[in-house]
Structure 1
Amino acid sequence: MRPSALPDATSAPQERGSIGEVFAAFVKLGLTSFGGPVAHLGYYRQELVIRRRWLDEATFADLVALCQFLPGPASSQVGFSLGVLRGNGLLGGLAAWLAFTLPSALIMFAFALGAAHFTGPVAEGFLHGLKLVAVAVVAQAVWGMAQSLTPDRPRAAIALAALSFVVLFPGSLAQISAIVLGAVLGLWLCRGEASAVPGRLNFPVTRLNGSVALCLFAAVLLATPIAAAATGSHALAVFDAFYRSGALVFGGGHVVLPLLQSEVVTPGWVSNEAFLAGYGLAQAVPGPVFTFAAYLGAVMNMPPNGAAGATIALVALLLPGMLLVYGMLPFWDSFRTRPAAQAAMRGTNAAVVGILGAALYSPVWTSAVATPRDFALALLGFLLLTVWKLPSWTVVLLLTAAGTLSSLI
């Protein structure tokens, strides 16, 4: 991710800036960062390491490693942490998070408001095209993640075990169990020499503040389902569903698909058709894929929905990842060198590949591919993404156009 034509940034100073500077830089990134989490990291490096020289290459690489290790949206966590670094604390991180998230969240919310009035053959074709986009994008994610996260027989076996477990025992509890199983199998099967860990993180976060953030993460995770059951509040149930999903997402934005599908489609809060249409559109907007939550919260068939539902869902999905990365910043240097931690993470990442593979079959494939024409279009989208390397938004335009045209023929 370092083109040779770019100037060297290994000696860039790590200075502090203003909250306004952080917000302005991340608004620009939020409006222009197309292409998903990996592409976002490239945009960050170009804009903040090379051009603005906010930090050096070693610190950036180490920060990316931390956010890849933790559950949550890696690109949003890296952005939040860069805001903490440049803005000298939590307010800087919040400014970066808000600025990077808001543009795509507003687009997804607007789509949710208009979806109910978007009817007829053209609308049906357009929405079906978005579901085919979801097939292509998730297949690309499974393909790419399998190559990088299951490169050997033990990790491939863990992925297969996780896939089989989730298929045989559907539901969010099975997915959580598969992740835990992956970590346990990783400790057994994926031990080896510890990987080299370059760089050192030096962020303005004390161990006390980090500990408070980690305790808050755990307290919310444990207390919210109890409070929701005791009060019968649907708002708390929605917050719990999205928070739990955000707390268990290893491997990037696409992995949230099976978790959220289990939480909102299975209980009937959102129809599967609306779910996949929104997920397809999320590939075409800049910024984090997790803003899909704003769409889901808005289209729910019972209150809180609309603006309130969108806000609850979006904050709940992103909050655990931010608490985790803020809490881990002061501890990461010592933790990341432990062979057991590295082995467990290898197993967890392999399990994530299996879970996403199961989601590719159901609900993504089973809901979108009904005819040979659907199969051909989904395959076209996959090849455009993996072979021709076209950006996601281009594939969205092509497949929605094809779906619309197909509905009119």
Structure 2
Amino acid sequence: MQNTESDTPLDLPTHSSPWTLFCIFLRLGLTSFGGPAAHLGYFRDEFVKRRRWLDEHTFSDLVALCQFLPGPGSSQVGIAIGRFRGGIAGALAAWLGFTLPSVLLMVAFAYGFTHLAEANGLHLLRGLKLAAVAVVAQAVWSMGRTLCPDRARVTIAVASAIAVIVLGATYGQIASIVVAGVAGALLLKSSTEVPRAPLGMPGTKTGAAICLTVFGLLLFGLPAAAALLHAYPLDLFAAFYRVGSLVFGGGHVVLPLLEAVVVPRGWLSTNSFMAGYGAAQAIPGPLFTFAAFLGAASTGYPAGITGALIATVAIFLPSFLLVGAALPLWGELRAFASMRRAMAGINAAVVGILLAALYDPVWTSAVHSGRDFALVIVALALLGWWRLPSWAVVLLTALLAWWVV
């Protein structure tokens, strides 16, 4: 297989300031429509193709690793990239930049700014979702060419896509990654081993142990403290921390689980929850920021901005702890040849998982007519042949969708 641009040695400095990371991820947070699969497409375009901070294999390994962890997969990849480039401060800056736009929109919606539901707004949002189809499709194609160069890995990718579609995102993703890892370790030849990452994994074993300890203490200790003290802010934090710690399958899975937390407790009515649910599907950035709406619109005290801050920090905190624990251990495990063969199989499974996500929810939620399909083709042409950056294609497709109505 010939080397692509993303496979060449990385020759850029290995450190970026927190401010630089914040600005880069802020732009991504403003333009990353389409859910977790689309976010990964935007990340790949920015950090593998454009900036060459990671090679294709390292990026795909990070994606595979974060698929194993509970919580928001795309946000965890962003946190890991920030950790690579700027340490703990870089991870915080990357998360804040990517998350801030959708948090602000969710809080604004909670305060009653419903102008996104007006006719023109709906058409613009339709265009943004169609652009996400093109971004994910290009990512699947490009990653497939690099990570599935032989029949064995193509077979793993196809089987993984079928498993996710048949079993659903939560169980299908976990089963696909586990089976693909075993198949890769046992069946792939040494010639298919992926090269070791050119960047060392950040963190230490001691740091990983501390992160895991804190994660477990908060998971089991927060509910007990909330029950003992009967304080709403602590109860809110404990409930959202538990959801962020235990939900597998990414953003689309967390929404119904949050309903089971807030509606029965009387923190929010079903109608209000569904209104926020719709807004969360339409805005850029991680769907986990729906927590900001729930905290801001809650009937408890404090609500508003303070409630949004408590809920948002609580639901994302497990991701920081789990990524901090996983990165150093993953770096050591990847040094073994059998593990690198397993990662080659898992990387192929990631392509299949993204292929399944391209169908549902990305395609099924966006393409409803021949006109929609035409706009997807235009967006693909702008990405693949005109070589326009993703953010420009997103804006142009949104404007075209508004204009052709």
TM-score (structure 2 length as normaliser)? 0.68
Distance 1:200 1:28, change over 3 A: closer
Q: Which residue of 2 aligns with 1:184?
A: 182
The percent identity for this pair of structures is 31
Select the residue among 251, 268, 278 that pairs with 1:260: 251
Give 1:154 shift.
1.0
CA 1:27–1:44 in 2, change beyond 3 Å: closer, same or farther? farther
CA distance in 1, matches of 2:49, 2:153: 31
Q: Which residue of 1 aligns with 2:47?
A: 41
Distance 2:47 2:387 in 1: 17
Match for 2:254: what amino acid? E
Name the amino acid aligned to 2:65: L
> In the alignment, residue 387 of structure 2 is paired with which amino acid?
K
Instruction: Tell me whether 1:146 sits opposite 2:144 in the alignment.
Output: yes
The residue that corresponds to 2:346 in the other structure is 348
* Partners of 2:156 and 2:348 within 8 A in 1: yes
Cα displacement (A) at 1:79: 2.0
Distance 1:297 1:348, change over 3 A: same
| Aligned counterpart for 1:126 among listed residues 124, 127, 137 | 124
Work out which of the residue numbers 76, 83, 86 in structure 1 matches 2:86: 83
Unmatched tracts of structure 1, length 5 or more: 16-20, 50-56, 85-92, 249-257, 283-289
Trace 1:67-82 onto structure 2 (pairs within 5 A).
67=62, 70-71=65-66, 73-82=76-85
Deviation at 1:242, TM superposition (A): 3.8
1:291-337 deviations in whole A, cap 9, x for unaligned? x532x323459859975676567556755554455445655664322
Given candidates 101, 106, 111, the residue that maps to 1:107 is: 101
Deviations 1:118-169 (A, max 9, x none): 2332122112112212211221221122122212111111111111112122
Aligned length: 353
Asked whether the equivalents of residues 77 and 325 of structure 1 are also in contact (C-alpha less than 8 Å), the reply is yes
Matched, 1:293 2:285: no
Q: Is 1:368 matched up with 2:366?
A: yes
Residues 200, 68 of structure 1: alpha-carbon distance in 2 compared, 3 angstrom cutoff? same
Q: CA deviation at 1:22?
A: 4.4
Question: How do 1:188-199 residues align onto structure 2 when only pairs under 5 Å count?
Answer: 188-193=186-191, 194-197=193-196
**Which structure 2 residues correspond to residues 324-403 of structure 1 after superposition, within 5 A?**
324=322, 326-327=324-325, 334-403=332-401
Does the aligned pair in 2 maintain the 1:182–1:347 contact within 8 Å?
yes
- For residues 357 and 60 of structure 2, what CA distance do their matches in structure 1 show? 26
Separation in 1, partners of 2:313, 2:132: 24
- The Cα of 1:214 is off from its aligned counterpart by 4.4
User: Is 1:163 equivalent to 2:157 in the alignment?
Assistant: no
RMSD: 4.5
Taking the aligned partners of 2:324 and 2:339, their CA distance within structure 1 comes to 19
Quick one: distance in 2 between partners of 1:155 and 1:315?
A: 39
Q: Structure 1 residues 378, 320: closer, same or farther in 2, change over 3 A?
A: same
**TM (normalized to structure 1)?**
0.68
Partner of 1:118, secondary structure, is helix
Checking the alignment, whether the CA contact within 8 Å between 2:133 and 2:358 is kept in structure 1 is: yes
Q: Distance in 1 between matches of 2:288 and 2:224?
A: 22
**Offset of 1:405 from its aligned partner?**
2.2
Name the structure 1 match of 2:39.
Answer: none
| CA-CA distance at 1:29 after TM superposition | 4.2
CA distance in 2, matches of 1:98, 1:162: 32
Equivalent-residue separation in structure 2 for 1:215 and 1:31 (angstroms)? 31
Output the CA distance in 1 between the equivalents of 2:379 and 2:316.
Answer: 29
Structure 2 letter corresponding to 1:105: T
Seen in structure 2, the aligned counterparts of structure 1 residues 158 and 61 have a Cα distance that, compared at 3 Å, is: closer
Deviations 1:230-275 (A, max 9, x none): x9x7865644444456xx7xxxxxxxxx632233268866687545
Listed one character per residue, the Cα deviations across residues 329-352 of structure 1 (whole Å, up to 9, x for unaligned) are 655664322112112211212112
Contact 1:242-1:313 at 8 Å conserved across structures:
no
Deviation at residue 37 of structure 1 after TM alignment: 2.2
1:116 is the counterpart of 2:114: yes
Measure how far apart 1:109 and its partner are. 2.2
Query: What is residue 277 of structure 1 aligned with on the other side?
Result: 282
Distance in 1 (alpha carbons) for counterparts of 2:344 and 2:57: 17
C-alpha distance after superposition, 1:388-407 (max 9, x if no partner) = 22112111211211222233
AA in 2 matched with 1:70: L
C-alpha distance in 2 between matches for 1:242 and 1:266: 10
Q: 1:146 to 1:98 in 2, by over 3 A?
A: same
Match of 2:268 in 1: none
Aligned partner letter, 2:139: A
Distance 1:152 1:236, change over 3 A: farther
